[in-house]
């Protein structure tokens, strides 16, 4: 017999998304901080770039922390008991449209990540002198 799907299990299963986003953003922070070491701060443009990188890293660190906390909370809801749901309200266009929007944005994110990955692989190849 298969296990009953509940909203708590759904939240727990979906916790992987904010957890992975938190991990990705934390890696972005690591890259922003590593890049700071290469900036020539004796140059006026270098000072401006350093400020942009420091500020961005601080902001992204907070975002990553909040995303990870949310993911942890979501994962903790796995055993949340199933509540009654009104099937008529579940079919309400507002609920359906909100979920459809979510699915479209998942698709957009996937396409964005594919493009960014291609660009980043090319940059990494240039940095290491290896073919992508």
Q: Which residues are CB-contacts of 21 (< 8 A; sequence separation ≥ 6)?
A: 67
What pLDDT is recorded for position 130?
A: 76
**Which tens digit of pLDDT belongs to each residue from 34-77?**
999 999 999 999 999 999 999 999 999 999 999 999 999 999 99
User: Mean of the per-residue pLDDT values for the chain?
Assistant: 95
Q: Give the model confidence (pLDDT) of 24-33 as tens digits.
A: 999 999 999 9
Contact 100, 44 (CB under 8 A): no
What's the pLDDT at 113?
97
At 1 the pLDDT is: 47
Look at residue 78 and give its three-state secondary structure: coil
What percentage of residues in the chain have a pLDDT greater than 90?
Answer: 93
The count of C-alpha atoms lying within 13 angstroms of the C-alpha of 1, restricted to the half-sphere facing its C-beta, is 2
Rounded Cα distance between 122 and 132, Å, is: 6
| Half-sphere exposure at residue 8, Cβ-oriented, CA atoms within 13 angstroms | 11
Asked whether residue 80 carries a pLDDT value surpassing 80, the answer given is: yes
Rg of the chain taking only CA atoms, in angstroms: 21
In the predicted model, is pLDDT for residue 12 greater than 70? yes
What's the predicted TM-score (pTM) here? 0.86
Question: Domain boundaries in the chain?
Answer: 1-82, 84-132
């Amino acid at each position: 017999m298969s296990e009953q799907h509940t909203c708590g299990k759904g939240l727990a299963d979906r916790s992987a998304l904010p957890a992975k986003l938190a991990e990705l953003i934390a890696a972005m922070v690591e890259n922003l901080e590593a890049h700071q070491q290469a900036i020539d701060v004796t140059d006026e443009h270098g000072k401006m770039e350093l400020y942009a990188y420091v500020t961005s890293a601080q902001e992204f660190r907070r975002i990553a922390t909040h995303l990870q906390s949310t993911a942890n909370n979501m994962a903790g809801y796995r055993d949340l008991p199933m509540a009654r749901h009104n099937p008529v309200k579940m079919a309400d266009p507002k609920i359906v449209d909100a979920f459809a929007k979510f699915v479209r944005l998942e698709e957009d994110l996937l396409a964005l990540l594919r493009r960014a990955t291609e660009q980043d692989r090319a940059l990494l190849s240039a940095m290491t002198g290896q073919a992508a």
